[in-house]
Amino acid sequence: MTLGLYPGCSLKGSSREYTESVLAVAQACGIELVEIEDWNCCGATAAHNLNKELSLALPARILSLAEKQGMKEVVVPCAACYSRLTVTNHELAVHPELKQTITKGNGLDYKGSVEILNIIQMLDKYITPNLEGRIVKPFEHKVACYYGCLLVRPHEILKFDREEDPQSMDELMLKAGATPIDWAFKTECCGAGLSVSRTSSVGRLSGEILKDAADRGAEAVIVACPMCQSNLDMRREAINSYLGEKIDIPVLYVTQVLGLALGIDRKTLGLQRHFVAVNI
What are the residues facing 179 on neighbouring strands?
142
HSE, CB side, 13 Å, CA atoms: give it for residue 116. Answer: 28
pLDDT over threshold 90, residue 258: yes
Of 45 and 4, more confident: 4
Mind giving me the DSSP string for 234-256? HTHHHHHHHHTS-----EEEHHH
pLDDT over threshold 90, residue 24: yes
Residue-level pLDDT at 46 = 64
The amino acid at residue 216 is R
> Could you tell me which of 14, 21, 12, 28 has the C-alpha nearest to residue 267?
21
pLDDT over threshold 80, residue 167: yes
- Burial degree of 94 (CB within 10 A; 0-12, 13-18, 19+): exposed
The amino acid at residue 82 is Y
Contact 108, 61 (CB under 8 A): yes
CA distance 66 to 20: 22
User: Who's near 20: CB < 8 A, 6+ residues apart?
Assistant: 268, 269, 270
Mind giving me the DSSP string for 170-222? HHHHHHTT-EEPP-S-TT----GGGGTTTHHHHHHHHHHHHHHHHHTT-SEEE
For residues 61, 62, 64 and 69, what is the CA-based torsion angle, rounded to 10 degrees? 140
pLDDT digit string (tens) for 235-245? 999 999 999 99
CA distance 206 to 31: 34
For strands 73-76 and 2-5, give the pairing: parallel
Region 27-33: mean pLDDT is 96
Task: Domains for the chain: give ranges and CATH numbers.
Answer: 2-120 (1.20.1050.140), 136-273 (3.40.50.11810)
CA distance 77 to 83: 11
Q: Omega before 154 cis (within 30°)?
A: yes
Tell me the whole-structure pTM to 2 decimals: 0.95
Residue-level pLDDT at 50 = 76
pLDDT over threshold 70, residue 166: yes
Region 176-187: mean pLDDT is 97
What are the residues facing 264 on neighbouring strands?
none
Give the angle subtended at the CA of 207 by the CAs of 179 and 226, to the nearest 5°: 70
Residue 104: its H or E element: helix 96-106
